[in-house]
């Protein structure tokens, strides 16, 4: 497209030759970009390498991009890393916008992310949480410090693994511990080998399963058997692997990270922990566990999760979008093939929107006006619009179930000599933004009176 002479680009910092503004991103780019937005405003343009990139840092500008210009900006850039992870763009998360993505997203929403399907994995989630509680109970007997970060990553990986691969494997060739290691290392080659192994095992298995026993591989193999076509392309085992890669990479780390921050913040704010525990303990009485059916009643716990995601969204810049047509935000021209990031980390701290934004106050959600389902642009941990997270229901359910049970079954102490204000809050960026140092806590079994 021919660019107009009188173009009015968003402001931004001066760039260097070749690298453009890359040197200004730093290790935690959401924080550097937040600082730049204070200087240049809520819509800025930078050059990352040779790529024009717009960063949006206010709820109002986010609404313009994700609501009014969603269709203009809902493609994804072609990147070397995402090309590989997506089996050359046959997945859901990284494939550019088009018929293929639309059909793939429709199939996955129906087959994998529907309420009914997510509920069919309820038993797996409840069982994995029960195993976690058992293992922490053992540590509580001898007042041992527990690495909660490790436990929660392991919990989400097991939930994803059992939902995807099923509960038992013929000949016990499948080693879940090994899979966890590979998942943490995120080696494409090893993950691919694992997926192939599990697909082969499923194909070998002769037994017919009841519908409610089917795992994700069973469902996807059915699509292959039925010769399903996606935009004229026959659904193959590579499609199955591309979807599995999305489920593991998009589903495990964000869920685990949210759980870790959602324990860290209440541990630093004992008032919040006590209030959440009282709600849960009153709700379930002496039953000793919370099941998924009871989560709906835990209003304060839900506020704790929202407040945690406001301050610590696992994907602070969402996944990168790429524009497909020209449009304007705040009077600035945005051209096709521009990369767009929405800095939801900055939006969660917007002083005009949030009172005392740096303070952890779950009660700010008491009036029930703000949810994170993509309608309220001040709280967007799952994104919004066409490319918003389809796994939101699965993700939120995992997080709430784990927290409710951890807060019900134990009181939580800091290792000896540590005070609330000593809890480290540093972040480190990877596939998601994580808590840098592991959260270590001493569990004290809660005795029912």
Q: Taking contact as CB under 6 A, which single stretch among the options 165-173, 249-257, 261-269, 418-426 is the one that binds ligand HEM? A: 249-257
Q: How many residues bind ligand HEM (CB under 6 A)?
A: 25
- Is residue 246 a contact residue for ligand HEM (CB under 6 A)? yes
CB 273 within 8 A of CB 267: yes
In the complex with ligand HEM, which residue's Cβ is closer, 91 or 139? 91
Q: At what angle do helices 270-284 and 299-311 cross, to 10 degrees?
A: 150
312 closest CA partner among 426, 431, 160:
426
Q: According to CB under 6 A, which one of 250, 262, 267, 304 is a site residue for ligand HEM?
A: 250
Any residues with CB less than 8 A from the CB of 262 and at least 6 apart, and which? Answer: 304, 305, 308, 399, 403
Q: What is the dihedral of CA 386, 391, 242, 197, to 10 degrees?
A: -170
- Is residue 258 a contact residue for ligand HEM (CB under 6 A)? yes
Tell me which residues in 373-432 interact with ligand HEM (CB under 6 A).
381-383, 387-391, 394-395, 399
* Number of separate helices (H) and strands (E) present in the chain: 15, 13
Q: Taking contact as CB under 6 A, which single stretch among the options 140-148, 251-259, 349-357, 403-411 is the one that binds ligand HEM? A: 251-259
Q: How many CB atoms lie within 10 A of CB 393?
A: 17
In the complex with ligand HEM, which residue's Cβ is closer, 251 or 266? 251
- Is residue 244 a contact residue for ligand HEM (CB under 6 A)? no
- Is residue 263 a contact residue for ligand HEM (CB under 6 A)? no
- Is residue 318 a contact residue for ligand HEM (CB under 6 A)? yes
360 closest CA partner among 425, 443, 277, 272:
272
Answer yes or no: is 389 a known binding residue: yes
- Is residue 52 a contact residue for ligand HEM (CB under 6 A)? no
- Is residue 96 a contact residue for ligand HEM (CB under 6 A)? no
- Is residue 249 a contact residue for ligand HEM (CB under 6 A)? no
CB 405 within 8 A of CB 372: no
Backbone torsion region of residue 18, taken as left when φ is above 0, otherwise alpha when ψ lies between -120 and 50, otherwise beta: left
- DSSP-derived letter for residue 173 is -
- Is residue 220 a contact residue for ligand HEM (CB under 6 A)? no
Q: According to CB under 6 A, which one of 52, 166, 266, 314 is a site residue for ligand HEM?
A: 314
Positions touching ligand HEM (CB under 6 A) are 92-93, 105, 246-247, 250-251, 254-255, 258, 314-315, 318-319, 381-383, 387-391, 394-395, 399
Annotated binding site for heme: which residue ranges? 389
């Amino acid at each position: 497209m021919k660019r107009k002479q009188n173009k009015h680009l968003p402001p931004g910092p001066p760039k260097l030759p070749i690298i453009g503004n890359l040197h200004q991103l730093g290790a935690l780019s959401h924080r550097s970009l937040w600082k730049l937005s204070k200087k240049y405003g809520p819509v800025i343009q930078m050059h990352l390498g040779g790529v024009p990139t717009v960063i949006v840092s206010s709820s109002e500008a986010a609404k313009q991009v994700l609501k009014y210009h969603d269709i203009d900006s809902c493609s994804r850039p072609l990147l070397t890393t995402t090309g590989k992870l997506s089996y050359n763009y046959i997945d859901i998360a990284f494939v550019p916008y088009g018929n293929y993505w639309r059909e793939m997203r429709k199939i996955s929403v129906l087959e994998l992310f529907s309420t009914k399907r997510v509920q069919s994995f309820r038993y797996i989630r409840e069982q994995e949480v029960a195993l976690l509680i058992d293992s922490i109970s053992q540590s509580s007997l001898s007042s041992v410090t527990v690495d909660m970060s490790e436990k929660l990553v392991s919990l989400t990986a097991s939930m994803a693994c059992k939902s995807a691969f099923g509960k038992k494997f013929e000949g016990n060739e499948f080693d879940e511990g090994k899979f966890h290691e590979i998942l943490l290392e995120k080696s494409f080659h090893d993950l691919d080998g694992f997926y192939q192994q599990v697909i082969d095992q499923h194909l070998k298995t002769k037994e017919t399963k009841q519908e409610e026993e089917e795992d994700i591989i069973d469902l996807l193999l059915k699509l292959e058997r039925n010769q399903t076509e996606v935009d004229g392309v026959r659904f193959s085992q590579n499609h199955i692997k591309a979807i599995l890669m999305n489920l593991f990479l998009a589903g495990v780390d964000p869920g685990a990270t949210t759980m870790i921050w959602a324990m860290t913040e209440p541990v630093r704010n004992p008032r919040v922990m006590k209030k959440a525990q009282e709600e849960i303990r009153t709700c379930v009485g002496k039953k000793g566990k919370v099941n998924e059916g009871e989560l709906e009643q835990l209003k304060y716990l839900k506020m704790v999760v929202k407040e945690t995601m406001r301050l610590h969204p696992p994907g602070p810049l969402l996944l990168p979008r790429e524009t497909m047509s020209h449009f304007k935000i705040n009077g600035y021209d945005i051209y096709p093939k521009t990369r767009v990031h929405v800095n939801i980390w900055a939006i969660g701290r917007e002083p005009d929107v949030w009172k005392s934004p740096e303070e952890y106050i779950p009660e700010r959600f008491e009036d029930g006006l703000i949810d994170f389902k993509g309608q309220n642009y001040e709280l967007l941990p799952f994104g919004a619009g066409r490319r918003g997270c389809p796994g939101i229901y699965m993700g939120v359910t995992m997080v709430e179930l784990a927290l409710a049970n951890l807060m019900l079954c134990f009181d939580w102490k800091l290792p000896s000599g540590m005070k609330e204000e000593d809890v480290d809050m540093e972040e480190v960026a990877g596939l998601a933004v994580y808590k840098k140092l592991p959260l270590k806590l001493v569990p004290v079994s809660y005795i029912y009176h």
